[in-house]
Structure 1
Amino acid sequence: MARHTFTVGQTIEFVPGRYDGSAPAGTYTVVRQLPNDQMDREYRVKNSRDGHERIVRESQMRGRASGPFG
């Protein structure tokens, strides 16, 4: 089974697909890595603005640069 790419506590950009309804794009924090056997792993993430949590697939996530200039 493939490992998760993102870690708990990491800040990511959520990029919703055309079928994701009104899910807002933007900055989220990874709250939990979810177990699954899929190639497209899943995570529970929390919106940085409104605190709403949702489950997203890794293909919908973009890592953010970390450090003093990222």
Structure 2
Amino acid sequence: MPQHHSFNIGQRLELVLGRLSPTAPSGSYTVVRLLPNDSEDREYRIRHDRDGHERVVRESQLRRLAAPLG
């Protein structure tokens, strides 16, 4: 049974910095494309909300943004 992406185009997320993305800027990113792949760890093209730089990341590198307080 095919796996589906957990996030949608246009959704704003946070990139979890780690060994796969050690130099990526922190902050919020927007999903611009869902990439096809047969792995359990789906891939996305995301764009940094401040500098506009795009990168390809795996679903395990992303998490939902924390809700703002107040």
* Structure 2 residue 61 is the aligned partner of structure 1 residue 60: yes
- 1:42-69: per-residue Cα shift (whole Å, max 9, x none)? 0000000100000010001001257x97
* Other-structure match for 1:43: 44
Q: Rate the CA distance shift 1:19–1:43 in 2: closer, same or farther, 3 A.
A: closer
Give runs of ≥4 in structure 1 deviating > 6 Å. Answer: none
- Aligned Cα root-mean-square deviation (Å): 2.0
Report % sequence identity: 58
Aligned residues: 69
- 8 Å contact 1:16–1:23 — kept in the other structure? yes
Unaligned 5+ runs, structure 2: none
* Other-structure match for 2:6: 5
In 2, distance between residues paired with 1:56 and 1:26? Answer: 15
In 2, distance between residues paired with 1:26 and 1:3? Answer: 25
**What is the SS of the residue equivalent to 1:12?**
strand
Unaligned 5+ runs, structure 1: none
